[in-house]
Structure 1
Amino acid sequence: MASRGIPLDNAAIFSIMMEGILYGFSVLMFIGTMWALTYRRRTNEIHRPNVVVACMLLILSTAHMVVDFIRVEQGLVTYRNTFPGGPAAFFADVAQTTFVVKNIIYNLQTMLGDGIVIYRCYVVWQSVWVIIVPSLLWFGMAVSGFGAVYSLSKATSEAEDIFAKSTGQWITVFYAMTLASNLSASGFLAYRIWRMECDVSALRATKSFSMMPIVRVLADSAILYSVTLLSALVCFVEANNGQYVVVDMITPIISITFYMIIIRIAMRKTTPSHSSLSTIRMANETARETQQRYNGRTPVEVHITQITHQDDNDTCKPAY
């Protein structure tokens, strides 16, 4: 299949530029995220899983950026005059170590990002059944990602093209499953929060608290990631070299979507111990219990102003 679009050496320059801009933005958001997670909190009040995930996303996106710099330097400087076919042929060679490594990092970043969304969906629904489909898609994504990386590492001179059937079929499945997993988990999550908002708002007398901003934050992050991923899938199916640019942009975007949710919710907090997922869990229980207790009666006022949850040691930790 003949590829179309911009030359690969031009695509390499443009992709490193776009990734660098988004990476710099993600670093600023990482700083804001760490502030939101640690500001005015004692050590035992910090939600460590979120801190770990935020750091892992930063490490992976940084590693991807470094590998991309090395790859561009090799293709345009080190092997410019020695690689058969020049820089364009170098960047088309999927068997290059730097290309294989950057795809491994991208797969890990994608699996981590989608895994977070599925976990949030489980926390809100408190049901394994809801996340069965997203989880199956996630495992399928892991298998196809491994198959893509393996096929790239075993590429020969007859199939050194990312659009070749031996590599392209794995990558297409990976993109499709990633998109489906993210959309399904994000859809279930947003729907559940919206339903809880409807249930609670119908029973409370005031509108001092609303979970709709949380729905909008989740929708914004899902749309940002899904549109970028869909663009990569379309470019790849059409064998357009623009997919190299879009894929390099996805890695920092995954980090940005995670940081964006924590920062935007932190900006709406009214107390240091207020937390979104804890609020959602309590709102879920409040809506269910209030409906059962006051079924058929006049609306009652429901106050949800400060929600925390306890760990095994009975210490308060906020969760986003």
Structure 2
Amino acid sequence: MTSSGIPLDAGALMSAVLEGILYGFSGLMFMGTIWSLTYKQHTRNISRPIVAVAILLFILSTTHVVVCVIRVEDGLVKYRNTYPGGPVAFFADTSQKTYIIKQALYILQTLLADGVVIYRCYVVWQSVWVIILPSMLWCSIVVTGIHAVYGASQYNTSAFDQGLATWVIGFFISTIAANVLSSGLLAYRIWAIERDVATIRASTKGNMMPIIRVLMDAAILYSMALVTTLICFLSSSNGEYVMVDLVMPIISISFYMVLIRVAINRNHSYLSTVGMTAEAEQGNLQKHPVEPLQVYIPIYAQ
């Protein structure tokens, strides 16, 4: 397929600038996330896995920005007059190490973020059957992503080459479906629990609605970025290169915005009810049919 749209050298510079802006915003949200998860919290009450995931997302985003800057410097300065075809040909070459590293980082970021959402679906639903389809989609992301990166590393070709296009399209469709399905299941389960609790005690009505709203906002933000990237790819637009770079900080931003909202809502998310309790530190949702207990819904998702 023949690409169209903005020149690749201009697109590389544009993506570096825009990604840097979004990365700065995600960096601020990362600091806010760590603060909200640890401020005035006893060590044993801090969710170490979630803190670890937040840090990993930040590390991946930071590394991606650094590689992006190196790639721009290589294409526009270092190899400007020595690479056959000039900067445009350099940025079109998918076998370049910087291109492969960037795409590998993007796939790792996607797998990490989508994996967390799927895991939280299991935590809230406490059913393996619910996450079977999302897990299959996650495996599809692994297969299509690895094959796309490997294929790109073997040939000096365009990302729109027919040999790569099938795998790239499969990757985007899989991650869009996994994100929409997992986020939808998560939000529905929280809404269902909140509705049941509200029927028992009217004063609890609406306590979890802010989390449901931010979950959907994060899912919409991430999904729209992916859909835009897919549309650019299907139309063979060079804007796809820009959008892929922008999706990296968007993944982190959508993840952090949920964590911050959950932390803000922490003191209001303990609901008095009959027959339910959740042990947040253990990540297990358990039901007890006799004693009036508290329910805490542990939601940390993208």
Structure 2-normalised TM-score? Answer: 0.90
- Cα separation, 2, equivalents of 1:200 and 1:41: 27
Equivalents in 1 of 2:35, 2:270: separation in Å? 14
Q: Give the equivalent residue in structure 2 for 1:187.
A: 184
Greater Rg over alpha carbons, structure: 1
1-structure distance, mates of 2:222, 2:207: 25
Aligned equivalents of 1:248 and 1:209: distance in 2? 37
Match of 1:232 among 229, 232, 247: 229
Helix, strand or coil at the partner of 2:159 = coil
Q: Kindly indicate whether the alpha-carbon contact (under 8 Å) linking 1:123 and 1:277 is maintained by their aligned counterparts in 2.
A: no
Please state how far the C-alpha of 1:198 moved relative to its aligned partner: 1.6
Q: How many residues align?
A: 293
Shift of 1:45: 2.3
Matched, 1:47 2:58: no
Name 1:59's counterpart in structure 2.
Answer: 59
Moved more, 121-130 or 263-272: 263-272
Q: State the shift of 1:36 in Å.
A: 1.0
Structure 2 counterpart of 1:131: 131
**What amino acid does structure 2 have at the position aligned with 1:28?**
L
- Tell me if the contact between 1:277 and 1:319 (Cα under 8 Å) persists in the aligned partners: no
C-alpha spacing 1:214/1:91, structure 2 compared with 1 (3 Å): same
* Cα distance change of structure 1 residues 303 and 188 upon mapping to structure 2, 3 Å threshold: same
Question: Are the counterparts in 2 of residues 278 and 307 from structure 1 also a CA contact under 8 Å?
Answer: yes
Question: Does the aligned pair in 1 maintain the 2:71–2:99 contact within 8 Å?
Answer: yes
Give the drift of 1:268. Answer: 2.5
Matches within 5 A, 1:195-206: 195-206=192-203
Distance in 1 (alpha carbons) for counterparts of 2:98 and 2:39: 39
Shift of 1:137: 0.4
* 1:205 to partner: Cα distance: 3.2
Of 252, 255, 273, 1:258 maps to 255
Tell me by how many angstroms 1:269 deviates. 2.9
* Pair 1:319–1:125, CA change in 2 (3 A): closer
1:319 and 1:198 map into 2 onto residues whose CA distance is 17
Unaligned 5+ segments in structure 1 are 294-301, 309-317
Structure showing the higher strand proportion among its residues: 2
Distance 1:111 1:282, change over 3 A: closer
Do the aligned partners of residues 271 and 224 (structure 1) sit closer, same or farther apart at CA in structure 2, a change above 3 Å counting? Answer: closer
Counterpart Cα distance in 2 of 1:129 and 1:283: 16
> Matched residues, percent identical?
52
- Report what 2:72 is aligned to: 72
Contact 2:124 2:285 in 1 (8 A): no
TM superposition shift of 1:266: 1.4
Please point out which of 155, 167, 172 is paired with 1:170: 167
Please, which runs of 5 or more residues in structure 2 have no aligned partner? 272-277
- 3-state secondary structure, aligned to 1:82: coil
Contact kept? 1:197, 1:211, Cα under 8 Å = yes
Report the 3-state secondary structure (helix = DSSP H, G, I; strand = E; otherwise coil) of the residue aligned with 1:6. Answer: coil
Distance 2:116 2:230 in 1: 22
Normalising by structure 1, what TM-score? Answer: 0.85
